[in-house]
Amino acid sequence: MLRTERLNKQLGGFSLREITLEVSPGDYYVLLGRSGAGKTQLLELICGLTTPDSGHIFLDGQEITNTKVQQREIGLVFQDFALFPHYTVRENIAYPLKVRRLPKEDIDLRVRHAAEEMNITHLLSRKP
């Protein structure tokens, strides 16, 4: 479970104030709002790309507010392309797993599972 408690972040004239939310395991949530409403800022706080001015972030009951981004095991996909154009879809999905030095069998299993979940197994050999 992901939970935030009273997150606050000031960025120039913009601020996120008292953001509290809870995302249960297996659930899908969507952040909707106009441009500049703070959606990306909130996600960057949760992922650890930025730190809150105050408040707390919990993942599976453990506080991760000050945990390094590399140790959070939370991903963020930006709206703009962040793919390697010279890699296949399979290689793009596998890249962060290879960086973490997971065994090849685990990588293959996770890539296959992710592709099945997104119904893109037929695209794995293509380039983006």
pLDDT category at 69 given cuts 50, 70, 90 is confident
Please state the rounded mean pLDDT for residues 92-117: 94
> How many domains does one find in the chain?
2
Q: 8 with 39, same domain?
A: yes
Q: Is residue 56 in a domain? A: yes
Helix, strand, coil tally for the chain in percent (to 5): 30, 20, 45
Residue with tokens 């000050």: 66
Alpha-helical runs (H) found in the chain = 39-47, 69-72, 89-99, 104-117
Asked whether 43 and 57 are in contact (CB, 8 A), the reply is no
Q: Can you give the pLDDT at residue 126?
A: 95
Q: Is residue 77 in a domain? A: no
pLDDT category at 64 given cuts 50, 70, 90 is very high
Q: 50 with 107, same domain?
A: no
Bridge partners (DSSP) listed for residue 56: 5
DSSP SS3 for 39: helix
List the CATH number of the domain containing 23: 3.40.50.300
DSSP secondary structure code for residue 8 in this structure:
E
Asked whether 98 and 110 are in contact (CB, 8 A), the reply is no
Q: Is residue 79 in a domain? A: no
Please state the rounded mean pLDDT for residues 94-122: 94
For the chain, give the mean pLDDT: 92
The number of helix segments (H) and strand segments (E) in the chain equals 4, 4
Q: Can you give the pLDDT at residue 75?
A: 80
Please state the rounded mean pLDDT for residues 11-40: 91
Q: 49 with 97, same domain?
A: no
Q: 7 with 37, same domain?
A: yes
Q: Can you give the pLDDT at residue 51?
A: 94
Please state the rounded mean pLDDT for residues 86-105: 94
